[in-house]
Amino acid sequence: MAHILKCISPIDGSVFAEREALSYNAATQAAERAQAAQAEWATRPLQERIDLVMAGVAAVGAMNDDIVPELAHMMGRPIRHGGEFGGFEERASHMATIAQEALADIAVGEDATFKRYIKRIPHGVVLVVAPWNYPYMTAINTVAPALIAGNTVLLKHATQTLLVGERMAHAFHSAGVPEEVFQNVFLDHDTTSRLIAARAFDFVNFTGSVNGGREMERAAAGTFIGLGLELGGKDPGYVMDDADLEAAVDTLIGAAMFNSGQCCCGIERIYVQESLFDAFVDKAVAITEAYKLGNPLEPETDIGPMAHIRFAEEVRAQIDEAVAAGAKAHVAPKPEDDGGAYLTPQILTDVTHDMRVMRDESFGPVVGIMKVSGDEEAIELMNDSPFGLTASLWTADIARAQQVGDCIETGTVFMNRADYLDPGLCWTGCKETGRGGGLSVIGYHNLTRPKSYHLKKVTT
């Protein structure tokens, strides 16, 4: 019996799109087509692969007027934010720019007797399992460098953003990337796991939940397939006593609430030194109260619905539990808060790490703010988490930020900014946030394998 994947729009709960999931046999055939096409694709000149990928990126950009409202329908992001093409293009462009150097042979030495060097060899077939919250940008993080490096790619997108992979594949094919080289596939979880277990792929990159990452590891157990995993987060902000208060509040609250708080590196907990705490909270509440919650298709809407009602239910539960345990909620329910996917953005104080809202991933428009005495207490609290993706430090002293940053268990340390992915830096995490790394030169290293050449010359 066919398995139908349905995207339920958070705007009104209607079915926005549906597609039939591939059977295991059909999915296996797609992987086999990718495998058969990979050798020829890898022998094409690197610059040709770069040009084709960037033409595909441009073709996605040409669809942006249609993509923006489509994203609003699928996952609730307001149209006023304009979609994702800026970051999508920035990331692909950077990876294209560094490709020649990142993929160049590593010369070890040559003399009259030996020539020695290391090549970067594509894995083969790469499966990209992309999430719904930034569906274009998270996908291109791996799709672009994987293709440029000479891999073929199968893209499986989240059901909540069902049409994204279809659009990307159409754009890339229209630009000249062969259909077998980049395929969009509709798969259910069971078929995905079976394919991984059967070694249908040579590398898998997954962005999603911690439980999803565990399922990927279980499926790959014993196969020796490489995995790149970006999983949960509970990213902290720390405002030191010498911080620019206005900039810190504006940036950290924006990073907590943008996209209805559904950001991989969104700020979910904030620690403020005592001298700035009251002023920070007052400004944070004022900003949050001013947000317009509503239909994401309306241009004045700042915050749309969460992508699915079950996500909103989890955030409400965390808020309610915290308040019952003594936390203070500062923002009154907005008229548009329907008890479903539309959720009032919330600021909490009097929170502790005994509350789930300060421990578990919220992935919604809520942030807890705690007063701290100084760097030592802030470091202890920032590290008191099973996750480690980013941390945002606010100070005028770069040496102090470096010293604090060295003590934090995280993948990225920001100073005086937050919620941004710099493609020149490795995007990575630690602890339950996952393993591996995307973008930068290291992204290419993870999408290829080293192959050593030790060549002894014939001498007479």
Helices (H), 103-134: none
Burial of 121 (0-12, 13-18, 19+ CB in 10 A): middle
Contact 389, 410 (CB under 8 A): yes
Q: What's phi and psi for 409, nearest 5 deg?
A: -85, 95
292-295-298-304 Cα dihedral, nearest 10 degrees: 60
Known catalytic residue at 407: no
Burial of 254 (0-12, 13-18, 19+ CB in 10 A): middle
Instruction: Please tell me whether residue 409 adopts helix, strand or coil conformation.
Output: coil
| CA dist 135 → 87, 103, 143, 164, 327 (Å) | 11, 27, 12, 7, 34
Closest by CA to 17, choosing from 156, 186, 237, is 186
Query: Strand pairing partners for 329?
Result: 348
Q: Are strands 448-456 and 114-122 parallel, antiparallel or unpaired?
A: antiparallel
The two structure tokens encoding residue 434: 């996952």
Choose the catalytic residue: 84, 230, 361, 432.
230
Query: Strand pairing partners for 293?
Result: 303
The two structure tokens encoding residue 374: 């100084």
Choose the catalytic residue: 7, 70, 89, 264.
264
Contact 341, 74 (CB under 8 A): no
Known catalytic residue at 265: no
Residue with tokens 């100084």: 374
Helices (H), 105-220: 135-148, 164-174, 189-197, 210-220
379-423-428-410 Cα dihedral, nearest 10 degrees: 0
| Cα atoms in the 13 Å half-sphere on the side-chain side of 28 | 8
Identity at 245, one-letter amino acid code: L
The two structure tokens encoding residue 248: 């810190």
Which residues are catalytic, by number? 230, 264
